[in-house]
């Protein structure tokens, strides 16, 4: 029996979810969302970090059972890099050496919510050269506002206290010169809800809004199918006519006809699916960029950060009340995005002091904007991966400019340390791919000149009704976390579909 939906959305991460929600809110189109992975722990797309420890570990175990993750872990050499919980590495044999060739730490998630079931929710707006200058300012501003509503972005998810104030005030004093109010050091905008015992982290249940429940979806002619792999988009004479879907449990395939197809399958697998479908623009999979990352630990000066209480009173040997603070990117003066994170969200383990006393420590993460080059790219092999799609290999390296920037990052770490207290140990340069912010591989552009895959509304050049979403659409070199921008571009794409429907 043939099936037809007005729109088929591939991928259920924050971007696919935002696209479906926007369409459901602004049109009466029937929508099918397909997701290759499972609904982890039957949570409906909540952020797994909110779950109690046992359920959380169960969800991570389910994530590791996804075929690509399973194959990667079964063949993983002892000294290979480890993936963050809920993710798996593209290169199972990449070693822990902090090299950058081939982007050793490139990772993915496959489950309801994608990486958005595991993320740490930082949602800053881009600034200066990070911004997409060919999109009208007013269109972008409106899309950011909608995206912030869908993601529920707030700045007071963590309660303000004397330590938070000390951090933000010190950073403003030492890094605030020449900045406008919106680009001053400040608490990080986070996709979360306030709660007495700390924020509730946002997942795609929040982004989906009224589509998060089966009843809500039925009321808006929307269906969600997990464990359903899109193998191919069927494109005939410049028109996407449907998709080939495979039920991952039974292996059965079926064709579903579609009025519009939107692919938000991440910055690696969106180009992979287009390549498998014979849609192969010159720029597809190229301009791959990831934000080179440096991390460090900063011990806050206790005499200034802890006026009312002693560090000895701090539970768990560490400061767990400072939330996340942000120094925004600024061309030339500060070409980094800096996050100062309370330790429970920092990737660096901290040894307790021998005497058991607490220490007010925060993790500092610096993301740099990479020089973008067409040669940094995904290569699609003839061989197939564990899902039967073209195997991917990454050709990727840092430029001399990127390496200069990493050296500059070490100076910034020292300056932040001096502003707040002192740096503990040496800054660590992480292997390329660690940021999990891969961009550019199906980027948007103002004209079809071979350097971009999509038009400014994320529609694939030359295909009337095929739209792409995700960080791969971002054409600029950014240092800030990309999800808010990617969700904003999905809102613009959905509005373009709605506009075309109404004429």
Contact with ligand FAD (CB under 6 A): which of 8, 20, 21, 37? 37
Q: Given the complex with ligand FAD, which of 412 and 486 has the nearer CB atom?
A: 486
Pick the piece of the chain touching ligand FAD (CB under 6 A) from 115-123, 163-171, 234-242, 392-400: 115-123
Q: Given the complex with ligand FAD, which of 35 and 130 has the nearer CB atom?
A: 35
264 binds ligand FAD (CB under 6 A): yes
Q: What residues between 399 and 438 interact with ligand FAD by CB under 6 A? A: 436
Report how far apart the first and last C-alpha atoms of the chain are (Å, whole number): 31
E-assigned strands of 183-288?
A: 186-187, 190-193, 200-201, 222-225, 228-236, 239-247, 253-263
CA dihedral (37, 41, 43, 49) positive or negative: negative
35 binds ligand FAD (CB under 6 A): yes
Q: What residues between 456 and 485 interact with ligand FAD by CB under 6 A? A: 470-471, 481-483
User: Which of the residues 92, 281, 337, 437 is marked catalytic?
Assistant: 437
486 binds ligand FAD (CB under 6 A): yes
What distance in Å separates the CA atoms of residue 265 and residue 490, rounded to the nearest whole number? 13
14 binds ligand FAD (CB under 6 A): yes
Q: Among 79, 179, 167, which residue's Cα sits nearest to residue 127?
A: 179
Contact with ligand FAD (CB under 6 A): which of 122, 206, 369, 420? 122
What distance in Å separates the CA atoms of residue 420 and residue 362, rounded to the nearest whole number? 10
Give min distance, CB of 243 to ligand FAD, in A: 9
116 binds ligand FAD (CB under 6 A): yes
Q: Among 33, 30, 35, which residue's Cα sits nearest to residue 5?
A: 30
Rounded to an integer, what is the distance from CA 437 to the centroid of its chain? 5
11 binds ligand FAD (CB under 6 A): yes
Give min distance, CB of 29 to ligand FAD, in A: 20
Contact with ligand FAD (CB under 6 A): which of 72, 121, 444, 454? 121
Q: Among 149, 87, 97, which residue's Cα sits nearest to residue 120?
A: 87
What distance in Å separates the CA atoms of residue 341 and residue 324, rounded to the nearest whole number? 4
The answer for residues whose C-beta is within 8 angstroms of residue 67's C-beta and 6 or more apart is 386, 387
110 binds ligand FAD (CB under 6 A): yes
Binding mask 170-189 for ligand FAD (x = CB under 6 A): --------------------
Give min distance, CB of 396 to ligand FAD, in A: 18
Contact with ligand FAD (CB under 6 A): which of 7, 94, 115, 474? 115
- Under DSSP, the state recorded for 96 is S
Pick the piece of the chain touching ligand FAD (CB under 6 A) from 6-14, 234-242, 289-297, 300-308: 6-14
**DSSP per-residue letters across 26-77:** H----EEEE-SSB-GGG-SS--GGGS-HHHHHHHHHHHHTSHHHHHHHHT--
271 binds ligand FAD (CB under 6 A): no
Binding mask 206-235 for ligand FAD (x = CB under 6 A): -----------------------xx-----
Instruction: Please count the other Cβ atoms lying within 10 Å of the Cβ belonging to residue 425.
Output: 8
Q: Is 92 a catalytic residue?
A: no
What distance in Å separates the CA atoms of residue 361 and residue 226, rounded to the nearest whole number? 41
What distance in Å separates the CA atoms of residue 304 and residue 281, rounded to the nearest whole number? 56
63 binds ligand FAD (CB under 6 A): no
Assess contact for 454 and 472: CB atoms under 8 A. Answer: no
Q: Given the complex with ligand FAD, which of 322 and 483 has the nearer CB atom?
A: 483
Give min distance, CB of 15 to ligand FAD, in A: 3
269 binds ligand FAD (CB under 6 A): yes
Structure tokens at 386: 């564990």
Burial class (CB in 10 A: 0-12, 13-18, 19+), 1: exposed
Active-site residue numbers? 437
| Residues forming the site for ligand FAD (CB under 6 A) | 10-16, 34-37, 84, 87, 109-111, 114-116, 118-122, 229-230, 264-266, 269, 273, 436, 470-471, 481-483, 486
């Amino acid at each position: 029996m043939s099936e037809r939906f007005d729109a088929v959305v591939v991928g259920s991460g924050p971007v696919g979810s935002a696209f479906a929600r926007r369409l459901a809110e602004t049109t009466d189109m029937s929508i099918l969302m397909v997701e290759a992975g499972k609904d982890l722990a039957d949570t409906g797309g909540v952020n797994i970090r909110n779950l109690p420890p046992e359920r959380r570990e169960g969800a991570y175990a389910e994530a590791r059972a996804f075929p690509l993750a399973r194959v990667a872990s079964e063949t993983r050499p002892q000294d290979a890099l480890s993936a963050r919980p809920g993710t798996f590495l593209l290169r199972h044999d990449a070693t822990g050496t902090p090299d950058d060739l081939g982007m050793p730490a490139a990772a993915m998630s496959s489950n309801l919510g994608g990486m958005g079931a595991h993320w740490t929710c930082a949602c800053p707006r881009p600034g200066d050269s990070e911004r997409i200058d060919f999109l009208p300012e007013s269109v972008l501003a409106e899309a950011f506002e909608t995206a912030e509503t869908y993601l529920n972005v707030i700045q007071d998810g963590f309660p303000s206290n004397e330590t938070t104030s000390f951090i933000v005030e010190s950073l403003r004093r030492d890094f605030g010169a020449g900045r406008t109010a919106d680009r001053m050091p400040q608490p990080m905008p986070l996709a979360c809800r306030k709660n007495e015992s700390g924020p509730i982290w946002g997942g795609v249940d929040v982004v989906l809004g009224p589509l998060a429940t089966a009843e809500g979806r039925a009321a808006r002619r929307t269906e969600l199918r997990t464990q359903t792999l899109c193998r191919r988009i069927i494109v005939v004479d410049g028109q996407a006519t449907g998709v080939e879907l495979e039920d991952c449990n039974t292996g059965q395939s079926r064709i579903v006809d579609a009025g519009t197809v939107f692919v938000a399958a991440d910055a690696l697998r969106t180009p992979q699916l287009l390549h498998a479908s014979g849609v192969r623009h010159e720029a597809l999979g190229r301009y791959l960029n990831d934000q080179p990352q440096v991390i460090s630990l900063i011990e806050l000066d206790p005499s200034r950060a802890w006026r009312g209480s002693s560090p000895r009173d701090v539970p768990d040997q560490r400061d767990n009340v400072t939330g996340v603070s942000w120094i925004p990117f600024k061309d030339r003066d500060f070409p980094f995005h800096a996050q100062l994170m309370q330790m429970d969200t920092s990737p660096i383990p901290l040894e307790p002091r021998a005497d058991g006393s607490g220490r007010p420590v925060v993790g500092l993460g610096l993301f740099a904007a990479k020089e973008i080059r067409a040669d940094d790219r995904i290569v699609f092999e003839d061989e197939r991966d564990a899902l039967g799609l073209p195997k991917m290999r990454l050709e990727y390296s840092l430029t001399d400019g990127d390496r200069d920037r990493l050296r500059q990052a070490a100076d910034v770490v020292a300056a932040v340390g001096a502003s707040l207290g002192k740096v503990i140990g040496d800054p660590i340069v992480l292997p390329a791919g660690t940021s999990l912010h891969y961009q550019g591989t199906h980027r948007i552009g103002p004209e079809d000149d071979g350097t971009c895959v999509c038009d400014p509304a994320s529609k694939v050049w030359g295909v009337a009704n095929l739209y792409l979403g995700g960080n791969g659409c971002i054409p600029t070199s950014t240092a800030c976390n990309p999800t808010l921008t990617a969700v904003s571009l999905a809102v613009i794409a959905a509005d373009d579909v709605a506009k075309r429907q109404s004429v």
